[in-house]
Chain A
Amino acid sequence: MYSTIPIQRQWARLAHVCRALSSLEGHKLPVGGKSIDGISPPLRISRSPTDILQALAATVGVDPTAPHYKYHDDPFLIPQSNYRKRAYALSAEAGRKAATWIRDEQAHLFTTREWDPPMKMKTPYFNADPHIDAFTPRPIYNDESKVTEEDLLYTINNALIEDAIKVYQLLGASEGVNDELKMSLLQLLCFYNEKEPIGAEWLEERWFAAATRERQAATWKLGGLADKIFASMDPKTPEAYCTLIQGMAKYYQAERAHAFAQEAIEKGVPLSTGVYNSLLSCVGFLKEGTALRIDALKGLLAEMNEQGISPNADTLTACLRSISAWGGGQILQTFALQVLAEFKALNIQPSLSAYYYILCLFCKERGQRIDILTSILTDLENRECLEPSDAMDTHFFITAIGVCSDHLQDINLAERVHALLMKGDNYKLVGDAYKESIYYRHLVTVTCRHAPFETTAQLLDMLIPNIYVPEPSVMEEIIKTLEVAGAGDRLAEVWSQLVVFGLAKRIKIVEQLLNALCQCYSYQEDEIKEKIRNAAADMLKFGQLIQEQNENRRTPTQQLSATALANIIDLCADVNDKDDPSWEVVGEALGRLRSEQAVGVPDKPEILASVAKKAANIGKPGIAATALTYLAECGFEEATKACVETLGVMLNRPVEEVQTLLQEPRSALEASLHPSALVIAEAFHLAKTGGPMDSSSSESDSDSSDSD
């Protein structure tokens, strides 16, 4: 067996050579898709290494009911709220960052290279096959580093701005670097404005990066390294001019960019389309007033024509970007449509970002309703695929759905937008976490408001909680929809969702939910009724739990209002069994009402009156007494009538008899009545006269036991 090993190695080497040969041959073969005469095999189709993987991936869709695959598949590790989704994904990324940091800092330890196929190791370390750059430690540059131009090339190719600047200075700045490298460095600096971007390997950080709206202010570093490198270049090539002007225009240094462009034209330096595109996008900074700005834009386009430069799709985007930044109004809107028509005549398709600017221009928050989205959607739906070409392309879908939701309030259009986003590979255009959540906020809102309930329910089941966790405002919208539809079981589930999503502390939503539960309680089935009661009881318990947790903190916690507590009482008192645990909840809620832990007074006191009657009826006089005393203390008119009726029920006597009974002095009643009934009698007097029954009467314990 051991003797075969050398032969195997030979075989492996032979296989390696064969592989190399076959790939060489593959390059020589003509490339195409179809057989020439129908008999001979079709020509070779060249594939990228991941083509088969992509084809396989295309056969399975995304399962919306499963958590995203970046989260670990374990109940403990699946995030349920927005906060947790963010925290978990970023924690994992922080771990990965820590590992790469260790690798880079301890680069001398990470020298082992796995070798495959197993042939004789030629050098102790670096014969890994294939050599994978991603697994090699990154060099760290500091003042003592010995650097060469290769290091500079490496840093530039990997967009490591700070390292590139460091290496450039170590190499002796402008004297020690050749022109070609200088040019590449200038391009890098101009593109990023000398600011280190988030690395491409940190997906989560880019996904969750705080959505800072790009400031439309001159952020270009004046007199920075880019300017210095440009000054040191001699002769100044057209490429250098183009790079610098585009950099300045990108970071809103409009006047200097235009001055440089003028200088270049005077010197006879040819400029590119890209330069004119960037100049067009910041032309508004030069002039004030719509008319002057439009003239300047037209002037630039005419200048392009003079220079013999043909526009492209980005030119259209740049024009519309400028126009949409100048505000709104009839003139700009007509001008934008003119530009659009002009480019259509040139057979240039507007990109997604162009349409985004059109939507910004036409669909203002306060303004006339203009349905321009329909035609845009028709155009986009007819395209085979939507290729992203500009960073602003990712703004299109959130703006479009926002227009559907707020501006047009049209569910059909919203559905079309959503279908377009879900088509093919288009979901990549959703942008980042922030934009995704705004997109779904609009989609859910417009669906809740305008779609039939079945569609809404379907959408909610699909999105929540794995794709989208509703924000408080959207949750209110959802509760409203469920209430209108009378979906009691779904409403009861909303409470557990609130707890899981971390929204249960938001008193406003909880109160709204309680209200909705009360509204649709009466016509639910018994099973659902019980679910609703349990949810209501849990709300009370949850509030107490939070309060206990927060006792040591200085900031007071929000409390359920008296109306909400009355709603809980109303729901939980709907049981006919005396031993049902719901009565405990009722007692608990009443206790909180009486000890003034709730804000305000209930806006429907008749609920408490009827609950008191019911409690007396099934043999819970203590609860009846507490409810009536509370009513009397709050000074509700209903209190007197309710007291008489409840006493009537308790003592099993007609109302007239009870009224005469109540006229008797306290001492006489004390002997003849049950303590709870006595409390009710006291409540009656309190309600009627505004004072206690007798001056001699001692404060009786209202929370007396409800034993018979």
Chain B
Amino acid sequence: MLLYWLPNFIPQQHYAELSPENTESQKKRDKPLTYEMANPPHYIAHRKTWNSWNTSNLKDGIRRSETALEDEFIRRFMNGTWHGLVCSEIIIKRQFNHIRVAAIIRRAVSPTKMYFLLGYSEELMANWLQCPVTLELQTVDSFKDVVFKYI
């Protein structure tokens, strides 16, 4: 499974799996990782970037807890609404009063249905968060397209 939840509220970054004994022979190399999962957190800003972009997390930023909670809501909402279709982390970018939500989506449903979900998610989140929300999606054929490496 590519998708799993870290049960915390902080913007998620995946930790590369650390195995106690690093013997090549024991590795089956059958666990797929995305690029984001394959890079441990110290590579943020070097090989990969943040999953939440906002100014709340800067020094003296305002409404930190609200932003974190809203981001968690957006992530859960997206994963539930686009059920089984999201193949990447959900990136949330905030600019002024505008929230842009980016994700990679599997082409498992017809474009018409995708457009329905698009309109639905944008409008419902806009009403919930009281600001314009834009979805920025990219589509891929299957989960396999986002696999960066196997461990």
Q: Which residue numbers of A lie inside 8 Å of B, CB to CB?
A: 1, 4, 8, 72, 74-77, 79, 84, 87-89, 91-100, 102-103, 110, 112-114, 116, 118, 128, 132, 135
Contacts of A103 in B (CB 8 A): 124, 127
- Tell me whether A94 and B118 are in contact in the complex, defined as CB-CB below 8 angstroms, given that A76-B111, A114-B131 are known contacts: no
> Are A92 and B119 in contact (CB-based, < 8 A)?
yes
The reply to whether the CB of B113 lies closer than 8 angstroms to some CB of chain A is yes
The CA of A97 and the CA of B127, in the complex, are separated in Å by: 12
Asked if B62 and A118 sit within 8 Å, CB to CB, the answer is yes
Closest 10 A-B residue pairs measured CB to CB? Answer: A95-B119, A95-B120, A99-B123, A92-B119, A91-B115, A99-B124, A95-B116, A96-B123, A96-B119, A76-B139
Q: Which of B126-151 touch A at CB < 8 Å?
A: 126-131, 135, 137-139
| Contact between B115 and A135, CB atoms less than 8 A apart | no
Give the distance to chain B from A53, nearest Cβ to Cβ, in Å.
12
State A303–B66 Cα separation when bound (angstroms). Answer: 68
A98-B120 contact in complex given A76-B139, A77-B114, A88-B112, C-beta closer than 8 Å: yes
**Residue among B63, B97, B116, B118 with most chain A CB within 10 A:** B116
Question: Is the pair B111, A95 in contact by a Cβ cutoff of 8 Å?
Answer: no
- Nearest CB to that of B135 among chain A residues? A72
CB distance from A86 to the nearest CB of B (A): 10
> Given the complex of chains A and B, what is the CA–CA distance between A103 and B139 in angstroms?
29
A76-B107, A88-B111 known; A110+B120 contact, CB < 8 A: no
Within the assembled complex, what's the spacing in Å between the Cα atoms of A232 and B138?
60
| Chain A to chain B contacts (Cβ below 8 Å), 24 pairs | A72-B137, A74-B137, A75-B139, A76-B114, A77-B137, A87-B112, A88-B111, A88-B112, A91-B112, A91-B119, A92-B116, A92-B118, A95-B115, A95-B117, A95-B118, A95-B120, A96-B119, A96-B120, A99-B122, A103-B127, A112-B130, A113-B130, A114-B131, A118-B62
Q: Report the bound CA distance from A75 to B138 in whole Å.
A: 9
A132, B130: Cβ atoms closer than 8 Å: yes
CB proximity of B111 to chain A, nearest CB, Å: 5
* Tally of A-B Cβ pairs under 8 angstroms: 87
A77 to B140, CA, bound (A): 11
Residues of A within 8 A of B131 (CB): 114
Query: Shortest Cβ distance from B129 into chain A, in angstroms?
Result: 7
B139 touches A77 (CB 8 A): yes
- Do B119 and A99 touch (CB < 8 A)? yes
Q: Which of A72, A74, A95, A100 neighbours the largest number of chain B CB atoms within 10 Å of its CB?
A: A95
How far is A88 from B135 in the complex, measured between Cα atoms in Å?
Answer: 15
A97 partner residues in chain B, CB cutoff 8 A: 119
CA distance A95 to B112 in the complex (A): 10
Contact of A72 among B63, B115, B127 (CB under 8 A): B115
12 extra A-B contacts, CB within 8 A, seeds A76-B111, A96-B119, A132-B130: A72-B135, A75-B139, A76-B139, A79-B111, A91-B116, A92-B116, A93-B119, A95-B120, A95-B121, A96-B123, A98-B116, A114-B130
Q: List the A side residues contacting B139 at CB < 8 Å.
A: 74-77
Q: Closest CB of chain B to A78's CB: distance in Å?
A: 9
Chain B residue with Cβ nearest A137 = B127
Q: Which of B62, B127, B128, B131 has the most CB of A within 10 A?
A: B127
Smallest beta-carbon distance B147→chain A, Å: 19
| Residue on A nearest B114 in the bound complex, by CB | A77
Contact for A100 among B97, B115, B127, B135, CB less than 8 A = B127
Q: How far is it, in angstroms, between the C-alpha of A561 and the C-alpha of B115 when the chains are bound? A: 40
Q: Chain B residues near A76 (CB, 8 Å)?
A: 107, 111, 114, 139
Cβ contacts under 8 Å, B111 to chain A: 76-77, 79, 84, 88
Chain B residues lying within 8 Å of A88, measured Cβ to Cβ, are 111-112, 115
Q: Which A-chain residue is minimally distant from B97 (CB atoms)?
A: A116
Q: How distant is A405 from chain B, measured CB to nearest CB, in Å?
A: 34
B58 to chain A, nearest CB (A): 13
Which A residues lie within 8 Å of B62 (CB)? 118
Most chain A CB within 10 A, of B66, B111, B118, B128, is at: B111
Chain A contacts for B123, CB-based, 8 A: 95-96, 99-100
Q: Complex formed: what's the CA distance from A112 to B63 in Å?
A: 15
How far, in Å, is B106 (CB) from chain A's closest CB?
A: 10
In the assembled complex, the CB of A190 is this many whole angstroms from the nearest CB of chain B, namely: 33
Residues of A within 8 A of B119 (CB): 91-99
Which residues from chain B contact A93 at a C-beta distance below 8 Å? 119
User: Complex Cα distance A128/B120, Å?
Assistant: 24
The winner among A84, A92, A103, A116 for most chain B CB atoms within 10 A is A92
Contact (Cβ within 8 A) B126 A135:
yes
- Interchain CB contact under 8 A, B128 and A112: yes
Name the distance in Å between A181's Cβ and chain B's nearest Cβ. 30
A118 near B63 (CB under 8 angstroms)? yes
Contact present for B118 and A110 (CB under 8 Å): no
| Contact with B120, one of A74, A99, A114 (Cβ below 8 angstroms) | A99
Alpha-carbon distance between A454 and B7 when the two chains are bound, in angstroms? 63
Closest to B118 in A: A92
List chain B residues, Cβ under 8 A from A99. 119-124, 127
Chain A residues whose CB sits within 8 angstroms of the CB of B124 once the complex forms: 99, 102-103
Q: In the docked arrangement, what's the CA distance between A89 and B116, Å?
A: 9
A103 to B113, CA, bound (A): 21
CB distance from A98 to the nearest CB of B (A): 5
- For residue B131, which residue of chain A has the nearest CB? A114
A91-B115, A95-B118 are contacts. A74–B127 as well, Cβ < 8 Å? no
What is the CA–CA distance of A646 and B14 in the complex, to the nearest angstrom?
74
A77 to B138, CA, bound (A): 9
- Expressed in whole angstroms, the Cα–Cα distance for A76 and B113 within the complex equals 12
CB distance from A15 to the nearest CB of B (A): 13
In this complex, what residue of A is CB-closest to B129?
A114
Taking the closest CB of chain A, its distance from the CB of B60, in whole angstroms, is 8
- Rounded to whole angstroms, the CA-CA distance of A114 and B120 in the bound complex is 20
Nearest chain B CB to A611 CB, angstrom units = 42
Interface contact A77-B115, CB-CB below 8 Å: yes
- A110 near B127 (CB under 8 angstroms)? yes
Indicate with 1 or 0, residue by residue over B60-80, a CB within 8 angstroms of chain A CB atoms: 101100100000000000000
CA–CA, A132 to B128, complex, Å?
A: 12
- What's the Cα separation between A261 and B145 when bound, in Å? 73
- Smallest Cβ-Cβ distance to A88: which chain B residue: B115
Which chain B residues border A1 with CB–CB below 8 Å? Answer: 60
Closest A residue to B117 using CB positions: A95
| Complex Cα gap A4–B97 (Å) | 25
Taking the closest CB of chain A, its distance from the CB of B83, in whole angstroms, is 15
Q: Which residues of B contact A94 (CB under 8 A)?
A: 116, 119
Q: Whole-angstrom distance from the CB of B134 to the nearest CB of chain A?
A: 10
| Min CB gap A699→B, angstroms | 50
Q: Which residues from chain B contact A116 at a C-beta distance below 8 Å?
A: 63, 97
In the assembled complex, the Cα of A448 lies from the Cα of B131 at a distance in Å of 48
Asked if A135 and B127 sit within 8 Å, CB to CB, the answer is yes
CB pair A74–B122 under 8 Å, yes or no, is no
**Cα distance A92–B115 in the bound complex, in angstroms:** 5
Q: Least Cβ distance of A400 to chain B in Å? A: 34
Q: In the complex, what distance in Å separates the CA atom of A4 from the CA atom of B60? A: 9
CB distance from A509 to the nearest CB of B (A): 25
**A203, chain B: closest CB distance, angstroms:** 12
A46 to chain B, nearest CB (A): 23
Chain A residues near B127 (CB-CB < 8 A):
99-100, 103, 110, 135
Residues of A within 8 A of B122 (CB): 95-96, 99
